[in-house]
Amino acid sequence: MQIINDFKMTIDSKSVNESFARSTVAAFVAQLDPTLDEISDIKMAVSEAVTNCIVHAYPECVGKIYIHAAILEGSRVKISVRDKGCGIMDVKQAMEPLFTTLGGERAGLGFAVMESFTDKITVRSKPEKGTTVTMYKRINGRAAL
Ligand SMILES: Nc1ncnc2c1ncn2[C@@H]1O[C@H](COP(=O)(O)OP(=O)(O)OP(=O)(O)O)[C@@H](O)[C@H]1O
Ligand SMILES: [Mg+2]
């Protein structure tokens, strides 16, 4: 899995930074000449991952969110969103559609959105240590239209 180009950024877990994060990752992926749909998918997935860090990982405070985006061989994109927040007790359960620990406020669909708008997602988490969500997506691009 060779990295052809990549960037890292660290942002504060403030909701004002969510659109900054999704636009920045989308701008980076633009070098693969993606379709508008592909860009929109990337933005949706990043938005859900970053929002989860803001509302779940650091519920009482502002912490750091570490984003790593990489272009891999074969026009594939790998995006990792990591936090050092509260972690997830049961990842399998958390990823089930409609499961949420913030009932009433949240739909419990964030992971379902990430799964449906990317090709693959992995979630590693340790309670009190933090969570890393890694998403992969192949960009077929406008040349494929
Ligand atoms: N980074 C994270 N740190 C800690 N817990 C998380 C994190 N991401 C997700 N979770 C847990 O997983 C659950 C499911 O996440 P998911 O994004 O699918 O739904 P949600 O955030 O509750 O609702 P929605 O995304 O629809 O607003 C969350 O309710 C939360 O308990
Ligand atoms: Mg969510």
pTM (whole model) above 0.95: yes
Average pLDDT over residues 109-130: 98
- What was the pLDDT predicted at 36? 97
pLDDT at 105 over 90: no
Mean pLDDT value across the chain: 96
- What was the pLDDT predicted at 103? 86
Regarding the domain delimited by 3-139, which CATH topology (the fold level of the hierarchy) does it fall under?
Heat Shock Protein 90 (3.30.565)
Average pLDDT over residues 40-67: 98
- What was the pLDDT predicted at 98? 96
Check 18, 22, 48, 82 and give the catalytic one.
48
Pocket test residue of 95, 105, 106 for ligand 1, highest count of atoms within 8 A of CB: 106
**For residue 137, which of 1, 44, 42 has the smallest C-alpha distance?**
42
Return d(Cα 50, Cα 79) in angstroms, integer: 11
Average pLDDT over residues 82-97: 98
- What was the pLDDT predicted at 101? 96
- What was the pLDDT predicted at 107? 95
Ligand 2 centroid to Cα of residue 63, in Å, is: 17
Number of residues in the chain: 145
Ligand 1 centroid to Cα of residue 48, in Å, is: 9
Instruction: For 23, list phi and psi in degrees, rounded to 5.
Output: -70, -35
Closest C-alpha residue for ligand 1 atom 27:
106
Q: Which ligand is nearest to the CA of 56?
A: 1
- What was the pLDDT predicted at 142? 82
- Residue 5 annotated among the catalytic residues of the structure: no
